[in-house]
């Protein structure tokens, strides 16, 4: 093979490789929108279920459901700008997802939710029952300061898992605003779900208006 043909073949191979790399890294616009849409819809279902669990005082389940609600809604925003495989690599790590979200939607106002993210992220550790569940305290409040369980009589203070629903409501409302989504479209029209979402929620009008 002459050097001209060899060079042409090498250039053609490099072009095909680069085009394949670009397709893998940058999602098609339609796919990105569909992925983002599904993340938001599933996230809102978790959100409604989490608030149901809070009303029923199902503490462990409540925390995990809120964890997944926030995870999916944040990934809904990220899916507009990132490949689906990148989001899968983040798994359920809320701290990592939150860092990525603040990088894609830079706004100093989001920093007020750092503490809420840190608190929710801990609930992933108690997703499955094991011996550690005997040495923890789980509290959930609708609003106000987070609850705390204190040990007396020489007992060891248990590890605290606490959440405040109003703080999570604030976070979810801001996530919709930052991502420019219309929340009412994703919250749906089911009366029971809407009752759960609007119960003691300062953002009820914004989150349900279509």
Written in H, E and C, the secondary structure of 18-86 is: HHHHHHHHCCCHHHHHHHHHHHHHHHHHHHHHHHHHHHCCCHHHHHHHHHHHHHHHHHHHHCCCCCHHH
pLDDT at 149 over 90: no
Do the beta carbons of residue 140 and residue 134 sit within 8 Å? no
- Please say if the pLDDT value at position 145 is more than 50: yes
Mean pLDDT value across the chain:
85
Quick check: 59 and 138 in contact, CB under 8 A? yes
Name which residue leads in pLDDT, 141 or 34: 141
Q: Residue 22 — pLDDT band, cuts 50, 70, 90?
A: very low
CA distance 157 to 136: 8
Structure tokens at 132: 């550690």
Model-wide pTM > 0.85? no
Distance of alpha carbon 129 from alpha carbon 131, whole angstroms = 7
């Amino acid at each position: 093979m002459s050097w001209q043909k060899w060079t042409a073949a090498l250039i053609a191979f490099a072009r095909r490789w680069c085009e394949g790399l670009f397709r893998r890294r940058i999602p098609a616009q339609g796919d990105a929108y569909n992925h983002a849409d599904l993340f938001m819809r599933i996230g809102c279902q978790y959100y409604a279920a989490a608030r149901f669990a809070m009303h029923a005082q199902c503490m462990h389940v409540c925390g995990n459901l809120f964890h997944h609600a926030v995870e999916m809604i944040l990934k809904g925003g990220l899916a507009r700008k990132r490949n689906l495989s990148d989001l899968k690599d983040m798994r359920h790590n809320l701290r990592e997802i939150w860092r990525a979200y603040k990088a894609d939607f830079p706004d100093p106002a989001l920093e007020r939710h750092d503490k809420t993210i840190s608190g929710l992220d801990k609930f992933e550790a108690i997703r499955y029952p094991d011996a550690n569940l005997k040495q923890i305290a789980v509290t959930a409040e609708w609003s106000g300061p987070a609850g705390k369980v204190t040990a007396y009589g020489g007992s060891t203070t248990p590890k605290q898992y606490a959440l405040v629903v109003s703080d999570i409501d604030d976070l979810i409302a801001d996530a919709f605003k930052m991502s420019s989504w219309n929340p009412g479209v994703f919250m749906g029209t089911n009366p029971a779900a809407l009752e759960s979402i609007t119960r003691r929620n300062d953002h009820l009008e914004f989150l349900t208006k279509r």
